[in-house]
Amino acid sequence: MPEKTNLLGFTLPALTEWFAERGEKPFRARQVFRWIHQRGVDDFDAMTDLAKGLREKLHAEAEVIPPQVLSEHRSADGTTKWLFDVGVGNGVETVYIPEDDRGTLCVSSQVGCALACTFCSTGRQGFNRDLSAGEILGQLWVANRRLQALAAEGVPYRIDLRHDNREIEPEKDERRPVTNVVMMGMGEPLNNFVPVTDAMEVMLDDNAYGLSRRRVTLSTSGVVPQIRKLKERLPVALAVSLHAPNDLLRSEIMPINRTYPIQELLAACRDYLEVAPRDFITFEYVMLSGVNDQPQHARELAVLLKDTPAKLNLIPFNPFGDSGFQRTDMESVRRFQDILIKAGYIATVRRTRGDDIDAACGQLAGQVVNRMKKKTIRIHQEAA
Ligand code: SAH
Ligand code: SF4
């Protein structure tokens, strides 16, 4: 029997074409698309407004299959982490972060990451493969469904952070738990360009999740040519992992800087702002004790960014295994922040959430069978 087509990763235009090839009208594609994404339905029989003939055709040729959940962990602060099965020995993680008025999903784009930033646990594991659009969207599809099921059991998907981490009932008109997506999970999203942008197109589609471009943020370590491509294809909110105020230090902790140094990166950021949904770029800066967290680094950063509309987000380093790095103490983080604020920047400190379940930034390890390493071993063996 021929393999069935998984419709989960299709954009609406692609689904419409798939339907057209089978003699079906565009509005039928739209109906199915809405059932899948707006209603979270994977069973064609439950799509009650479709003709029986079409449902049979879909049964024969298609399916809606999300990646399988291997585990689910819930933190004391409501943060929820899932590990998804993405093939032999491999898993990727997705994290839901509730607040009182929104729910943010941190989505993975690759199994591992080839860019090997020294402070990142995903980077330490090496790279296995890119995720498909269906696997990327599947994380959102599953999270919404699962959080809705939990809500039906009395576990709300909003939390009052300002007071006591109390779970609160969501507003009545909020139909879906996830209101914001950040492409900040495992992997470098711009190195998996087509599946990531296809998945984001569906996130933005009013017939699917209907998120505005401001509510979808892509975080990149600075793959300059791909930032330019993103500008043409789908300019969502952009976050850039800067982490150092000069090339010498940045190249040491982020090897990609040797290919795309800071000034090239900042030029691409300024171009991107012509079409970005916000009038600034968010620069992420992970605070590594004794490495990039000194007052002189803050002053250097303030000068570096003077021509680029920027918002700075300082991230306390999240430790893992034998990372070799330490978290900067809060007092030094505040001092660093003050220097930036006095220089006229908006600088915030990211609140660490879900670290009791290893769900904080940079802690996503999943399970990665490092294919690059295997390849090197094979080459060594062949050479021997
Ligand atoms: N590859 C993309 C997106 C994924 S990482 C990127 O690098 O931007 C999301 C953010 O977490 C990045 O800013 C990354 O630098 C940061 N990060 C990585 N390891 C971290 C750690 N151990 N502690 C805190 N933040 C970390
Ligand atoms: Fe990859 Fe981002 Fe981690 Fe760097 S910080 S290794 S780019 S996931």
Give residue 280 CA to ligand 1 midpoint distance, Å. 19
Digitized pLDDT (tens) for each residue of the chain, 384 residues in all: 678 999 999 999 999 999 999 999 999 999 999 999 999 999 999 999 999 999 999 999 999 999 999 999 998 888 999 999 999 889 999 999 999 889 999 999 999 999 999 999 999 999 999 999 999 999 999 999 999 999 989 888 998 877 666 666 665 556 689 999 999 999 999 999 999 999 999 999 999 999 999 999 999 999 999 999 999 999 999 999 999 999 999 999 999 999 999 999 999 999 999 999 999 999 999 999 999 999 999 999 999 999 999 999 999 999 888 899 999 999 999 999 999 999 999 999 988 777 777 776 666 777 888 887 765 555 555 554
* Catalytically active residues, by annotation: 93, 361
Closest ligand by atom to 318 CA:
1
Contact 293, 287 (CB under 8 A): yes
Give residue 289 CA to ligand 1 midpoint distance, Å. 16
CA distance 227 to 240: 10
Atom of ligand 2 nearest to the CA of 254: 4
Ligand 1 neighbours, Cβ below 6 Å, are 117, 119-120, 184, 188, 219-221, 241, 284, 286, 315, 317-318, 361-362
Probe target for ligand 2 pocket from 95, 115, 258, 325, with the most ligand atoms within 8 Å of CB = 115
One DSSP character per residue, 223-283 reads -HHHHHHHHHH---EEEEE---SSHHHHHHH-GGGGTS-HHHHHHHHHHHTTT-SSSSEEE
Atom of ligand 1 nearest to the CA of 220: 8
Probe target for ligand 2 pocket from 188, 190, 242, 252, with the most ligand atoms within 8 Å of CB = 188
